[in-house]
Amino acid sequence: MSFLNGTSLTPASFILNGIPGLEDVHLWISFPLCTMYSIAITGNFGLMYLIYCDEALHRPMYVFLALLSFTDVLMCTSTLPNTLFILWFNLKEIDFKACLAQMFFVHTFTGMESGVLMLMALDHYVAICFPLRYATILTNSVIAKAGFLTFLRGVMLVIPSTFLTKRLPYCKGNVIPHTYCDHMSVAKISCGNVRVNAIYGLIVALLIGGFDILCITISYTMILRAVVSLSSADARQKAFSTCTAHICAIVITYVPAFFTFFTHRFGGHTIPPHIHIIMANLYLLMPPTMNPIVYGVKTRQVRESVIRFFLKGKDNSHNF
């Protein structure tokens, strides 16, 4: 292993070892990952294009959905191309600074994903509980500020973990048993004390995930109370159907996130490493892959927009 200098014990590069124990099937594992990544990119860019072009979707709910799609694209792109190069071509080396940059972007975008889901829950709360004031409360200015603050929160909370990882001495080696640079995966190969890293990682998880889940829970508690009080069964059904896609997105995002987070800290000796690494990749791939599908199937306005888009394309082809 090469070092930048002999006193700092900082490696010039790391070796991302892929999925330990499954090296013989790396190529086969790459095919479903590549397929999911292709679906994620196509689906999310398609959804953003629909929302941009269709005036019927120029509403706060769909602006937040476009922001979620944009975040999904950035989140999976921060790791998947590099992961596929490892699985396809065995290109495992990554520069030390590039590894830190990847770690920063992964955690920033996953934090932003959680934040956008929280903003969407608040959007549903305002839409259902204050329908007459919906347009005046959630103006374009408010949406832009909320999105920016969500991004800024992630950046400000993730920057310290990057510096905490950079300061560690790496005298054990430079091989990371993972497909991408994750905060604790990098910290664990250090020969220094990583207690501060572990504690700070837990604090960040509570400040982002814990706060967002609390806001989502409070929002849906208020929504449930408002919906139950409605006298019309049709109105209750419409209100519940409005939230279905968002609830599915929450489950798709948080279930693999919780699994990855807790196995890193409490299940390291009971869960095989390859299961943990596969789940860590699915944690970054499942939401971007499934969100466009879920919203396309469960949201009537998005379905109608897709139909209008294809009918318009068909009419244009007939004109030629």
Residue 63's pLDDT is 96
Residue 313's pLDDT is 62
CATH number at residue 29: 1.20.1070.10
User: Is 267's pLDDT higher than 50?
Assistant: yes
CB of 291 within 8 A of CB of 72?
yes
Residue 158's pLDDT is 97
Total structural domains within the chain: 1
φ, ψ of residue 19 to 5 degrees: the values are -110, 95
State how far the alpha carbon of 131 is from the alpha carbons of 72, 128, 166, in Å. 29, 6, 49
| Average pLDDT score, the chain | 90
- Write the pLDDT tens digit of every residue in 1-53: 444 444 457 899 999 999 988 999 999 999 999 999 999 999 999 999 999 99
Residue 7 lies in a domain: no
Residue 3 lies in a domain: no
Residue 6's pLDDT is 46
Residue 273 lies in a domain: yes
- Write the pLDDT tens digit of every residue in 76-126: 999 999 999 999 999 999 999 999 999 999 999 999 999 999 999 999 999
- pLDDT band with cut points at 50, 70 and 90 for residue 234: confident
Residue 4's pLDDT is 47
Residue 320's pLDDT is 56
User: Is 135's pLDDT higher than 80?
Assistant: yes
pLDDT-above-70 percentage for the chain: 93
Q: Residue 11 has what DSSP assignment?
A: B
- Write the pLDDT tens digit of every residue in 100-109: 999 999 999 9
Q: What is the largest CA-CA distance in the chain?
A: 74
- Sequence-ordered alpha helix ranges (H) in the chain: 26-53, 60-77, 80-89, 96-129, 134-137, 140-166, 183-187, 195-205, 211-228, 233-266, 273-298, 300-319
Residue 316 lies in a domain: no
Buried b (16+ CB within 10 A) or exposed e, 70-87: bbbbbbbbbbbebbbbbb
Residue 138's pLDDT is 94
Q: Between these two residues, 315 and 247, which has the higher pLDDT value?
A: 247
Which residues form the domain of 159? 21-306
Q: In angstroms, rounded to a whole number, what is the distance separating the alpha carbons of residues 243 and 272?
A: 36
Half-sphere exposure of 13 (CA within 13 A, CB side): 8
Residues 6+ apart with CB under 8 A from 138: 60, 123, 126
Question: What mean pLDDT do residues 217-233 have?
Answer: 89
Residue 1 lies in a domain: no
Residue 9 lies in a domain: no
Task: Considering only CA atoms, give the Rg of the chain.
Answer: 22
- Write the pLDDT tens digit of every residue in 288-305: 999 999 998 889 899 999
* Three-class SS state of 142: helix
Residue 254 lies in a domain: yes
Residue 15 lies in a domain: no
φ, ψ of residue 179 to 5 degrees: the values are -100, -10
